Chains A and B, each alone.
Chain A
Amino acid sequence: MLEQLQKLREEALAALGTARGREALEEFRIRYLGRKSGFISLMRGIGSLPEAERPLAGAEANRIRTELEGLLAEKLQEAGAQGQGRRVTVDSSLPGRTRPLGHVHPVTRVMGEICAVFEGLGFTVAEGPDVELDFYNFEALNIPAHHPARDMHDTFYVKPGVLLRTHTSPMQIRAMQASKPPLRMIAPGKVYRCDSDITHTPMFHQVEGFLVDERVSFSELKGVLRVFVSRIFEEDVAIRFRPSFFPFTEPSAEVDIACVICGGKGCRVCKGSGWLEILGAGMIDPEVFKSVGYDAERCSGFAFGLGVERITMLKYGINDIRLFYENDLRFLKQF
């Protein structure tokens, strides 16, 4: 019986190899797999075999049948694809049926990316009020009234002593007043300055960050900002710290990255310097600690503040900051 089955299989494989077209394949099916085929009659004969031979013969017959059916199906499919029958094929070049999907504003998106980097480093995120007291915005940050550093901030006032925050730094004071070190926090939000031209809008976004503990050093500030810059821009973008002045940090630094437009060779965007200023930072001034009742001898910390629009503009090559607030869909849909 096994021999017969094997012979039949070989014969069938040879026939299938030469069969061309759907009609020939149908003929093959009737001849080898149909009800009246030799194969089926052979299988019927299995029942009359001695009991010991039956399982083996049955299994072999089934294997061959499955094999032939599979090969036939493949052949049939091939024949179909060759356009033998009248099949309707889609014009796959036509557009897909998309559902409308919106996106967040580019500033929100970059703000989220920035926050995510610091959240990954274990910083808490908190937001403060936009309408702020002079005390938090200036006084407690070591910017007393009549200090020339106030010239660095063109301030909107709501009434004497109440203003629109000019930076997100007031959150340093609010957070330190509310808890004791160690602290690490970022404060994203809107800030306001009365200034408006191609590079300034009267409202923009900042992310403030600070870390306070015992024996925090400037080299750690450099480390954290290095991580940040690598995550937001290229992994190995050149970065430099240079001395600057903020009343609430000492030493203070401005942080530049190699110009993302020209790669440091010098262009219009970096004004030929090869560097782009992206954030301000420094070690928290002891006066700030005093204003919140911390012992400036026992703790130290660093703080940094960055402009989200500026980073967004650099990231996407946007050349006019005012585009962010026109909410032109032709602009928004690019991000």
Chain B
Amino acid sequence: MKLTVNWLREYVDCALEPKAIADRLTMLGLEVDAVEPLHAGLDRVVVARIEEVTPHPDADRLVLCQANIGTEVVPVVCGAPNARAGLLSALALPGAKLPGGEIRRSKIRGQVSAGMFCSGKDLGIGADNDGIVELPAGMTPGVDIRVALGLADTMIEIDLTPNRPDCASVVGIAREIAGATGGRLLRERLPAPPALAAHGLPFTVVVEDGDACPRYMARLIRDVRVGPSPAWLRNRLQAVGLRPISNVVDITNYVLLTLGQPLHAFDFDRLAGGIVVRRAHPGERITTLDGVARELTPEMLLICDQVQPMAVAGVMGGGASEVSDATVNVLLESAHFNPVSIRKTSRALRLSTDSSYRFERGVDPALPPVAMEMAVRLIHELCGGVVCSGGYDLGGDTIAPPPPIILRRRRVCDLLGVQLSAERIAELLNSIEITTTVDDAENMTVQPPSFRIDIEREVDCIEEIARLVGYDAIPVTLPRVPMSFAPVDAGRSLAAAVSGIMTANGFWEAVNYSFVSPAHCDILKLAAEDAARATLPLLNPIAENQAVMRSLLLPGLLENTARNINYQQYDVRLYETGKVFVNRGEELPEETRMLAAVLSGRRNPDTPLLYDQGEKVDFFDCKGVVDALVAELRLQEVTYGCDRPAAHADPDQFCRVLLDNVEVGCFGRLLPAVAQAYGIKQDLWFIEINLDALQAGRAATPIFRELPRFPSVSRDVALVIADEVRGDEVIRAVTEMRQKLVEDVQIFDVYRGKPVADGYKSLGIAIRYRSPEKTLDEATVDKVHDKIIQTVLSRFSGRLREE
């Protein structure tokens, strides 16, 4: 909602500066978005009198004027036909910022010009461009042109909340300002409507749908001269961003903005036999004022003549009865429509107008006669129309006042936390024309005015009181509530623990959109039966690459990786914890919290170059992260399976993570072809873990074990065994012997190549022995160690490596 301060002051007695008015409005809940002085660029344009005109020595069509600007007389070159001695006009001095550009001191064909005389168009205040502005005699040279022409004004733009359609009008805002400042609402400026009788009129009005159209007024104005509006009206409309069209249309817009009541003017002679307010017939069409042919559906309310639709009620008029320069007789409509009906129609037609905006939020049903009267008076004044006495007002007598509300003082004080007397409450409400009857010290009856469709309940009145007291005047206290123990959300704390482990391992957290391109499933070559293919599409995505809810986190991280590599960030370690969504048809989708991570580039990306050996990450860096998660989260019974490859992973470097033999995730090297598809040309390893599935497998509180009291003894041995024997088989072969003294078994070296024969490898094993009861002697250890080695060698048909 835009209005100007001068316009506002026509309806409220308020001397505050524009900025102060804006601050008051904001603190009343009418948030001001902008305060703009109008015609700010005209600050260097003044009234000037041409003292003398002489021909330009070097140009036939130019003259040289001596312009009196009060303090001095300056030379101005001018080409206007009406430049003459004695004329008072508007002179733009150097520095003036006109709509056409900034004025500079210049030489025109050798003659100095200290400014430019302006036409109405030059100043941006009219279309007149035939000559320079002719000001009435008696104006003082040197005066700011905005003051001289009454253009000095300030535009205020308010971001209205949907509950306040009453403030979509100058008078509505004036009422609020009056209430907040103690100023007076200048009611007498609003015309008093006469009683209307419908007999003897040359047209009929029939309302077929009284629910959708509770009130319909129509009056006829004859012998109207359609033409441009006077400057004051054009300026007002332009100031709030409306384009002047013609006097009749401008008047309807002016009344709409002043009062908040949408009006519509029909060319009476193009209506066949009067008005019928009815729902559209199936298949009916109308071409609206914007030139668009629109299909109508039977739920849309129309204003028709006896033959065809003439307007979409409360939304937009039709071209067939549009007021034009040829119009002589005008039928003016001022009506009240059902908000839901208008909103549905406006939505269905994708057509929102100043009229539909107000109707769908709720216009004061008592307003049509006031608006009608204001408009017919203006049409009479500005367009010379003859207003036919009488008119229709269908439904006006059936509109009941809103039901009264019982307001309890105690409730007000309790809900706001502020002490107010019944008198004070009444005073506050009365200040914005809400009438009250104080029943006793604790109770009062509130009569909501018809223009406040948002006040229906006690709590609505309390909000008004809070607003008027001022939120800043309400004290600041803390709640007194019983102590309670807040349970911890296990999912959240797991995600936080995972974040801690990932960041400690050098990963940066990424956050990606929950919606992705549907193409990822194919790019990742997911199997047809993969659950992640059951994506959930959006009905109204904003882009094709955000069309489905993500069923995997990996694609987002791969796109992030590609982007980072593009920006020369080659060492990428990113992780994300977040939900994925799997479509379950009729039910809400399954939302599962996942972890995904990618690692690529150097092993020690943030290590100073001095120590960086340039090693790249490999499979075991990736596995190490999973190992860290398993250890830190105390996951029990985790195994890694590599028997079933995944379509998007390198089959030689891929493991599934099993918790109690149930798959909870996987990790491995991304298939180079898939990486390429994401624009990644370097090796990349990924991890995907279902966090929700981990909850069950987490061990409870750790149980303390006594610290060892006796020293350990270590023995290393190098075994030559067949290449296909996996490391963990050898370890397991040792641990499964259940030798009590064995404390730890580790592989410390894997070697293939000479002198080890082809098809074999040398495996270095370190075994640590310890007894809880005594310091071990060599002989005891040797005995156990030899037994273990012999068992392992015979199990895998190996031999000791000779040094």
Tell me the smallest distance from the CB of A84 to a CB of chain B, in Å: 30
User: A98–B502 Cα gap in the complex (Å)?
Assistant: 17
User: How many residue pairs, one in A and one in B, have C-beta atoms under 8 Å apart?
Assistant: 249
Q: Which of B523-555 contact A (CB under 8 A)?
A: 536-542, 546, 549
Query: Ordered nearest first, which 8 A-B pairs have the shortest CB separation?
Result: A219-B417, A243-B29, A100-B506, A217-B417, A245-B161, A95-B608, A327-B510, A251-B463
* Known A203-B514, A243-B467: A156·B414 in contact at CB below 8 Å: no
Segment at the interface with B among A31-39, A44-52, A145-153? A145-153
Question: Which residue from B415, B567, B607, B608 sits with its C-beta under 8 Å from A300?
Answer: B415
- Interface: B574 (CB within 8 A): yes
Interface pair A202/B513, CB less than 8 Å apart: yes
Contacts A148-B360, A202-B546, A245-B164 supplied; 16 other A-B pairs, CB < 8 Å: A95-B610, A100-B505, A100-B506, A100-B607, A108-B499, A108-B511, A164-B514, A182-B482, A220-B479, A222-B476, A223-B477, A224-B479, A286-B459, A325-B513, A327-B510, A329-B572
- Closest approach, in angstroms, between the C-beta of B550 and any C-beta of chain A? 11
Q: Is the CB of A157 within 8 A of B467?
A: no
Binary contact readout A219-234 vs B (1 if CB under 8 angstroms, 0 otherwise): 1101110110000000
Whether the pair B591, A148 counts as a contact (CB closer than 8 A) is no
Query: In the complex, what residues of A have CB within 8 A of residue B567's CB?
Result: 328, 330
**B564 part of interface (Cβ distance < 8 Å):** yes
- Shortest Cβ distance from residue A203 to the other chain B in the assembled complex, whole angstroms: 5
Binary contact readout A99-137 vs B (1 if CB under 8 angstroms, 0 otherwise): 111111101100010000001001111110111110000
B487 lies within 8 A of chain A by Cβ:
yes
- Interface residues as binary, A78-111 with B (CB distance below 8 Å gives 1, 0 otherwise): 0000000000000000111111111111011000
Q: Please state if B463 and A243 are interface contacts (CB–CB under 8 Å).
A: yes
Please judge, given known A-B contacts A129-B591, A332-B510, whether A217 and B414 are in contact too, CB under 8 Å.
Answer: yes
Residue B343 at the chain A interface, CB threshold 8 Å = yes
Docked-complex contact B591 and A223, CB < 8 angstroms? no
Q: How far is the CB of B548 from chain A (nearest CB, A)?
A: 10
* Set of chain B residues within 8 Å of A326, measured between Cβ atoms: 560, 563
User: Which of chain B's residues have a CB closer than 8 A to the CB of A240?
Assistant: 471-472
Contact, CB under 8 Å: B476 / A226: yes
Is A73 an interface residue when CB atoms closer than 8 A count as contact?
no
Complex Cα gap A314–B537 (Å): 34
Q: Which of B541-593 contact A (CB under 8 A)?
A: 541-542, 546, 549, 556-557, 560, 563-564, 567, 569, 572-575, 578-579, 581, 588-589, 591
As a 0/1 sequence over residues 473 to 484 of chain B, the CB contacts with chain A under 8 angstroms (1 = contact) are 011111101111
Is the beta-carbon distance between A97 and B536 smaller than 8 angstroms? no
Determine whether A294 belongs to the interface, using a CB cutoff of 8 Å to chain B.
Answer: no
B127 CB within 8 Å of chain A: no
**Which of A15-23, A56-64, A189-197 forms part of the interface with chain B?**
A189-197
Residue of B nearest to A186 (CB): B486
* A100 B606 Cβ-Cβ under 8 A: yes
**How far is A174 from B417 in the complex, measured between Cα atoms in Å?**
28
State the CA gap A149–B454 with chains docked (Å): 13
B573, A100: Cβ atoms under 8 Å? yes
Residue contacts A-B, CB under 8 angstroms, 16 given = A103-B509, A126-B489, A148-B343, A149-B162, A159-B539, A164-B549, A190-B579, A192-B514, A213-B479, A213-B481, A218-B466, A218-B471, A242-B29, A242-B31, A325-B511, A327-B512
Once bound together, how far apart are the Cα atoms of A122 and B478, in whole Å?
13
* Chain A residues closer than 8 Å to B563, beta-carbon distance: 326-328
Query: Which B residues lie within 8 Å of A252 (CB)?
Result: 463
**CB contact between B579 and one of A102, A130, A147 (< 8 Å): that residue:** A130
Contact B481 A127 (CB under 8 A): no
B481: chain A residues at CB < 8 Å are: 122, 182, 184, 211, 213
- Min Cβ gap A174→B in Å is 12
A220 touches B477 (CB 8 A): yes
**B478 (CB) vs chain A CBs: closest residue:** A223
Nearest-Cβ distance from residue B748 to partner chain A, whole angstroms: 22
* Nearest neighbor of B466 in chain A, beta-carbon distance: A251
A323 CB to closest chain B CB (Å) equals: 11
| B484 surroundings in chain A (CB, below 8 A) | 122, 182, 184
Chain A neighbourhood of B73, CB < 8 A: none
Q: Most A CB atoms within 10 A — which of B162, B416, B471, B507? A: B471
| Residues from chain B with Cβ under 8 Å of A223 in the complex | 476-479
Q: Are B569 and A329 in contact (CB under 8 A)?
A: yes
Contact B512 A325 (CB under 8 A): yes
**One of B360, B415, B564, B579 near A218 (C-beta < 8 A):** B415
Q: Does A139 contact B (CB under 8 A)?
A: no
Cα-based distance from A274 to B361 in the complex (angstroms): 31
Determine whether the beta carbon of A245 is less than 8 Å from that of B162: yes
CA distance A112 to B483 in the complex (A): 22
Nearest residue (CB) in B for A286 is B459
A129 to B514, CA, bound (A): 12
B703 within 8 A of A: no
CB of B418 within 8 Å of the partner chain: yes
Contact among A201, A251, A286 for B467, CB-based, below 8 A: A251
Given A100-B604, A217-B414, A127–B514 Cβ distance below 8 Å? no
In Å, the complex CA distance between A326 and B512 comes to: 8
Residue B340 at the chain A interface, CB threshold 8 Å: yes
Q: Which residue of B lies closest to A302 (CB)?
A: B479
Q: Which of A286-335 contact B (CB under 8 A)?
A: 286, 300, 324-330, 332-333
Interface string of B322-362 (1 = CB under 8 A from A): 00000000000000000110011000000000000000110
CA distance A29 to B483 in the complex (A): 72
Q: Tell me the bound Cα distance from A283 to B27 in angstroms.
A: 18
- Most chain B CB inside 10 Å of its own CB: which residue of A147, A218, A254: A218
Q: How far is the CA of A146 from the CA of B299 in the complex (A)?
A: 14
Interface residues of A in 240-257 (CB under 8 A from B): 240-245, 250-254
CB <8 Å contact, B591 and A131: yes
Q: How distant is the Cα of A192 from the Cα of B344 in the complex, in angstroms?
A: 24
B460 contacts partner chain A, Cβ-Cβ < 8 Å: yes
Candidate in A130, A182, A327 with the most chain B CB atoms within 10 angstroms: A327
CB distance from A295 to the nearest CB of B (A): 14
Q: Does A108 contact B417, Cβ atoms closer than 8 Å?
A: no
Residues of chain A contacted by B462 (CB below 8 angstroms) = 250-251
Mask of A153-181 contacts with B, CB within 8 angstroms, 1/0: 00011110010100000000000000000
CB distance from A192 to the nearest CB of B (A): 7
Is B459 in contact with A196, judged by CB distance below 8 angstroms? no
B507 touches A218 (CB 8 A): no
B residues near A131, Cβ cutoff 8 Å: 536, 549, 581, 588-589, 591
- Point out the residues of chain A lying under 8 angstroms from B506, CB to CB: 99-102
- Given A147, A202, A218, which contacts B515 in the complex, CB threshold below 8 Å? A202
